[in-house]
A = this chain, B = another copy of it.
Amino acid sequence: MALPPGVGQADFDAALTAFADIVGSDWVFSDEASVATYRDAYSPSRGEGDEKVASAAVSPTTVEQIQQILAVANRYSIPLYTISTGRNLAYGGSAPVYSGSVVLDLKRMNRILEVNEDMAFAVVEPGVSYFDLYRHIRERGMKLWIDCPDPGWGSLIGNALDRGAGRTPMPYRDHFGAHCGMEVVLANGDLVRTGLGAIPNSGANWQAFPYGAGPLADGLFAQSNLGIVTKMGFWLLPEPDATMTGTIRAQRHDDIIPLVRTITHLQYQGIVNCLYSFNSPVFEGAINERMAALLDRPNGGSAAEWDAYASSLGRNFWQTTLRFYGPLNVMQAQWAYVKERLAAIDGIEFADGDVMEFPLTDDQISRLGDPASFGVPSLSVFSSQAGSGGHIDASPMVPHSGEAVLKAHKVYMREYVAADMPPSLGFAMSYHQRAFIMFHGIVLTLDPAENAKARAFYKRLVEVSGENGWGIYRAHAAYMDEVMATYSFNDGALGRLNNTLKDALDPNGILSAGRYGIWPKHLRGSRA
């Protein structure tokens, strides 16, 4: 049995015994096979010396049990690593950032505490998955949609706390942004409710207004290790009448500039409110020799040079599909206005998509190509990945500007060429209100040499993103220090603030050491 670093065998045994007294011996895991289930299925260091692994796991069912576990962990200085359901694949899965931590696995806290159809919200515990909430709503015939990430087996709370995103309209697509109200157990065992939840008897009002009064601490518990979230409210979308799509194709390299400016302005006005992605039939896929030569030109090739290349292939440069949700007449007026506003772009083409009315039948749902756009959780994203070693994801944020999108494509493509890596660059995707994700899914294999190359490239992407001000919004557990090191303004003032908060809220440093670069005081020196 592995020990947490710095913890002696006797103390560890005493802690595990105490944990068993709290949750029952069936829910403390310390045998090798059970602990191995917490390994990261997509670890970039699988089977190598630096793979992050747990020493044990404990799985409570109540807030009171968590409070008791914290008392034990504080007494014996046991590092805990909290997971909700541990499905954070491509960002570290269920393995602790600080190897040797005891996983605090909240999967058994899986109660759906409320779904309110009139007020369109849900309150859940950390173990509730998107599948669970979806089934609950559909079985009752409630006219509400959830918003889920591509794989639907994860936890609503876990995903929101890692600031995950989905595919339905805003604000629902931004899982942290669409939360309202938190219950948090602090490291000292104190139980706090934020917003109107701090008023006894606030009832459904807890999910009606997120701010409450005074400072709002909710932001401290996302992408961090400052507390254990045990309940969260989420706003839900009342089922729309219908949906339809419209596809836009633009011919030239520089068309992305008016295209981004116009579509984002329509988004900021509420006329467009879907997830859209600026794809490029020219940039996408493998980088051939002609492309590599263009990328080597000043500024990664001029508009005229790229347009000539695109012409020689007979390809248009950019395209995007907008999905509208709502009453048919409103959607049609919105799409007509999008066309009108973009008509001045020479050669632009539009194609009207199909209309679908809601609710969908079970048969229609089973045939959806893109279920997450309809609030339907699935695991279909995994169907294309069978047999691989998974991937590690880097997600830099690029501003809503065509110039920035062009620059980012060229900068990142040059990096793929220089590192001789197969491109896995996603195009500018509008998951968030005012920035694109330029997503990289670096493929892993079962070959350690290949994986070492992938790891080096991931670090290089983090570095290049930081140099260009394209902050990584979500870090892989193995590279959190590297990502947070790019947030270096004023000699690391943000990190100093995070450390001050850590020392105040978790003075013994027992919670999720290392998460998002925040280490407890006793481990900070050795990391600096």
Contacts and interface: CB of A to CB of B under 8 A. Distances in A.
A169 interface: yes
A41 interface: no
Given A209-B473, A487-B212, A201 B468 contact: yes
Nearest to A341: B327
A9 interface: no
Contact of A268 (B120, B196, B218): B120
Interface in A358-396: none
A112 interface: no
A408 to B, nearest CB: 11
A325 B397 CA distance: 30
Given A261-B118, A399-B205, A497-B190, A213 B269 contact: no
B325 A329 contact: no
A231 to B, nearest CB: 12
A205 to B, nearest CB: 5
Contact of A435 (B209, B224, B332, B486): B209
B214 A517 contact: yes
Given A192-B494, A397-B205, A504-B500, A270 B269 contact: no
Q: Taking each of A119, A171, A517, which has the highest tally of chain B beta carbons within 10 Å of its own beta carbon? A: A119
Contact of A270 (B169, B199, B215, B265): B169
A356 interface: no
Nearest to A178: B433
A504 B471 CA distance: 28
Interface in A407-438: 432-435
Contacts of A120: 264-265, 268
A308 interface: no
B469 A196 contact: yes
A240 interface: yes
Contacts of A486: 199
A505 interface: yes
Interface in A180-230: 180, 186, 190-205, 207-209, 211-224, 226
A268 B237 contact: yes
A137 to B, nearest CB: 15
Nearest to A207: B434
A17 interface: no
Given A193-B490, A270-B273, A516-B213, A199 B399 contact: no
Contacts of A505: 500, 504
A202 B487 CA distance: 10
A24 B271 CA distance: 51
A268 B147 CA distance: 14
Interface of A: 118-121, 163, 169, 171, 176, 180, 186, 190-205, 207-209, 211-224, 226, 235, 237-238, 240, 261, 264-265, 268-271, 273, 325-327, 329-330, 332-334, 336-337, 397-401, 404, 432-435, 466-475, 483-484, 486-490, 493-494, 496-498, 500-501, 503-505, 516-518
Pick the 4 closest A-B CB pairs, nearest first.
A504-B504, A216-B219, A202-B469, A215-B224
19 contacts: A120-B265, A163-B211, A190-B490, A190-B493, A191-B490, A198-B493, A199-B488, A200-B469, A202-B469, A204-B401, A205-B404, A208-B398, A209-B397, A209-B432, A211-B223, A213-B472, A238-B269, A333-B333, A500-B504
